[in-house]
Structure 1
């Protein structure tokens, strides 16, 4: 398990899947905002359902996020789009409704940065989030991510186009902030 101050990132357990599917995957608005794709229902136990983790896939590492103190499942974290040539990847996370607003997102991003830069030896991490996702923007910026641009009207979410903010962090910036 990878550990931060508040959270641990561990392998997904079978018992996590129904909880995540109900609380994250079952919320139409959250799914549309997080994935940029239309929501659709999945049959429990379906192999292609979100949050089901099978054999390791190149370019994607998925974690369940747990509270270190209680051991409770609080969400998911992903390092995706891992490019071993350019040494870059994307950071993503989702928190259960009961876990939001407690500082977990900042810690999850910190642990994913450590994982990406130290374990994978990456040079750059990137976060893409909707322009009105203030909690994710704060979590990214608290970890040293810099706003690099806005993709105007790039995400269709429940009947409207929304802007997406792109944030980046280089390993040298991360090391300097940690020192």
Structure 2
């Protein structure tokens, strides 16, 4: 397990899947805002590629996020779009509704940066998020990410196009523990 100050990133367990599906991915609004693909209903027991626990993908690493204090599942974190030639990847996370607004996001981003820069040896990490996602913007910026641009009207979300912010962090600019 990769540990932050208050959270741990661990492998996805089968028992995590129904919780993550029910609290994150079955929520049409949340899923539509967080995913690059349209929301689709998933039949109970079906293999959701976003939640798989046992099928490794060399371009994507999926973690379950747990509270260190009690081991409670509080969300999901992903390093995706891994490019081994350019040594870069993208970060994403989703916290269960009960875990939001408690500062976990900043700790998750810090742990993902440690994984990306220290464990994997990446040169660059990137975050894309909707311009109104203040929590993700704050979590990324507290960890040293710099706003690099806005992708105007690039995300189709529930009937309209929204702008996205692109944030980047280079290994040379990363300071482990840069959180406020």
TM-score of the pair, normalised by structure 1: 0.96
Q: Residue 47 of structure 1 aligns with which residue?
A: 47
Q: Residue 106 of structure 1 aligns with which residue?
A: 106
Cα deviation code 1:12-46 (max 9, x no counterpart) = 11110000000001100100000132211101221
Name stretches of at least 5 consecutive residues in structure 2 with no aligned partner.
none
Structure 1 residue runs of 4 or more that deviate by more than 4 Å after TM superposition: none
Contact 1:42 1:49 in 2 (8 A): no
CA distance in 2, matches of 1:57, 1:49: 10
Secondary structure, in 3 states, of the residue corresponding to 2:114?
Answer: helix
Contact 2:110 2:176 in 1 (8 A): no
CA distance in 2, matches of 1:165, 1:84: 24
CA distance in 2, matches of 1:114, 1:51: 22
CA distance in 2, matches of 1:103, 1:177: 14
How far the C-alpha of 1:176 sits from its partner, in A, is: 8.0
Contact 1:89 1:124 in 2 (8 A): yes
CA distance in 2, matches of 1:62, 1:34: 15
How far the C-alpha of 1:177 sits from its partner, in A, is: 7.2
Matched pairs, number: 178
CA distance in 1, matches of 2:176, 2:68: 27
Name stretches of at least 5 consecutive residues in structure 1 with no aligned partner.
none
Secondary structure, in 3 states, of the residue corresponding to 1:9?
Answer: strand
CA distance in 1, matches of 2:110, 2:124: 14
Alignment of 1:75-154 (within 5 A): 75-154=75-154
TM-score of the pair, normalised by structure 2: 0.95
CA distance in 2, matches of 1:73, 1:54: 18
How far the C-alpha of 1:59 sits from its partner, in A, is: 1.1
Q: Residue 173 of structure 1 aligns with which residue?
A: 173
